[in-house]
Amino acid sequence: MNAFRHRNYRLFFGGQAISLVGSWMMQVAQAWLVLELTGDPLWLGIVMAAQFLPVMILGLFAGVYADSLPKRQTLMATQVVKMLLSIVLAVLAFSGLATVPILIILALLIGVTNAVDMPVRQSFVIEMVGREDIGNAVALNSAMFNGARIVGPAIAGLTIGAVGVAMAFVIDAVSFVAVIAALYAMRDGELRSPVRIARPDSFGGVMSQLREGLHYVRVTPVVLMAILVLGLVATVGMNFAVIIPAYAQDILDSGASGYGFLMAASGVGSLFAALWLAFSGRGRLRFIAYGAIVLGLSEVGLGIALSFPVAMVLMMGVGFGGILMAATVNTTIQMAVPDGLRGRVMSVYTTIFAGSTPVGGPLMGGLASVFGVAISLAIGGALAIGVGLGALVWIRRLGADGSAAGGREPGRRSAASAAPSSTLSDRPTT
């Protein structure tokens, strides 16, 4: 638990732990509200795509500014905006005025905010804990995220069943107070902030800095492999908000509460994976491939399962595999990237990860609408297995199966050779 030595990280962890419970409640409530309005999983895919499409379009450009903006203050602003959007959702749900077009517009606004928030938040972690503790911090963040993933959906399912979806949005809005207060209480002097790059003042300047980040990803084989595998698996196998509500309703006949507990079971598996990584300190690159394969096998099982208890166990497998893969990818990238490029490279990571939803959401939702939820799950799982097997071959050919949390792997070019030295200042401002 080395990351907890840092006061700023302790504040961040506590605030995020509360806020993420609310965020998971919002995700469940949003999906269930769409399903109540339409009864069609295809519309779930469209709304989820609207929420992540701005990240795919704007995320790379936001990464340029993530390397030039003060991250703590930027995060405070994005959290306030997200709180206001949750309040709007609560008002619409309470008043009965929610419609699918309005929900799509709000999803787009959430997505625009996340396009800024995600690369800034990802690259802010190392400023709180330093390179020596980044692997532990990433694993702890995954544990926190998935602890909330257990609690949030379960509370949301019970709340929706008892008093309706509106109260879930209210709780989400209130939960943002915790993370805003935590960010406000941090000490700038204890942050390991690198010298920020000059903020571009022209389109040409933005594109020049963006190309530096993309160039680094392209010429660093380990980073390229990690991002591509995560993006492909997320596209075909991690569309939980689209597929699982319909799976709970149509296959298991378990209602909103069952959906909440299925998502919570996935969170349990994810939490096990995150805690194992945090306490063991292990993070080998092949875990990316193993995670994809475990996730895929579990989803194929879900396509066959008709029993709620069996589905709960398989959802734990889905969660374990997903976080084993995603947390290892995150740590690999954080350790490989030089400070002056971190915001831009992490924006590639978040853009690919989040951008998988606008593609995968409608795709898998459409498959579920035409062929049924079970077949959609089985297809997605089989494709994830194929990607995982391909990743194993790629890693072995690179000879890059060292620790993902530290050291230099064969096949990875040095930071100095991957980008111009003028952007790579490692000097903290403290």
pLDDT, tens digit only, all 430 positions of the chain: 578 888 989 999 999 999 999 988 898 888 888 888 887 777 877 887 788 778 777 777 777 666 777 888 899 999 999 999 999 999 998 888 889 999 999 999 998 898 888 888 877 888 888 877 777 787 788 778 777 877 887 788 888 888 888 899 999 999 999 999 999 999 888 887 665 555 555 566 667 767 777 888 888 888 888 888 988 998 888 877 678 888 887 888 787 778 778 877 887 888 888 888 877 766 578 899 999 999 999 999 988 888 889 999 999 999 899 888 988 888 788 777 776 777 778 777 777 776 676 677 778 778 888 888 888 888 989 999 999 999 998 888 877 655 554 434 333 433 333 333 322 222 223 3
CA-based end-to-end distance of the chain: 24
pLDDT of residue 409: 39
d(CA 364, CA 56): 18
- Rounded to whole angstroms, the Cα distance separating 236 from 384 reads 7
State in words which class domain 2-186+209-409 has. mainly alpha
Contact residues for 391 (Cβ-Cβ < 8 A; gap 6+): 225, 229, 288, 289, 292
pLDDT number for residue 421:
30
What's residue 195's pLDDT?
55
Q: What DSSP string runs through 69-123?
A: S-HHHHHHHHHHHHHHHHHHHHHHHHHT---HHHHHHHHHHHHHHHHHHHHHHHH
Give ∠ CA 73-63-182 in degrees, rounded to 5. Answer: 25
pLDDT (0 to 100) of residue 383: 93
Q: Which of 42, 109, 375, 56 is nearest to 234 (CA)?
A: 56
Which pLDDT does position 31 carry in this prediction?
85
Q: How far apart are CA 423 and CA 416, in angstroms?
A: 10
- pLDDT at 197 (0 to 100): 56
Report the pLDDT value the prediction gives residue 69, as an integer from 0 to 100.
75
Residue located via tokens 């509370």: 155
3-state secondary structure of 201: coil
Give the tokens for residue 265.
């079971």
Residue 269, token pair as written in the block: 């598996």
Distance, in Å, from the CA atom of 120 to the CA atom of 115, rounded to the nearest integer, reads: 9
Nearby residues of 406 by Cβ (< 8 Å), 6 or more positions away: 135, 335
pLDDT at 420: 30
Rg (CA), the chain: 20
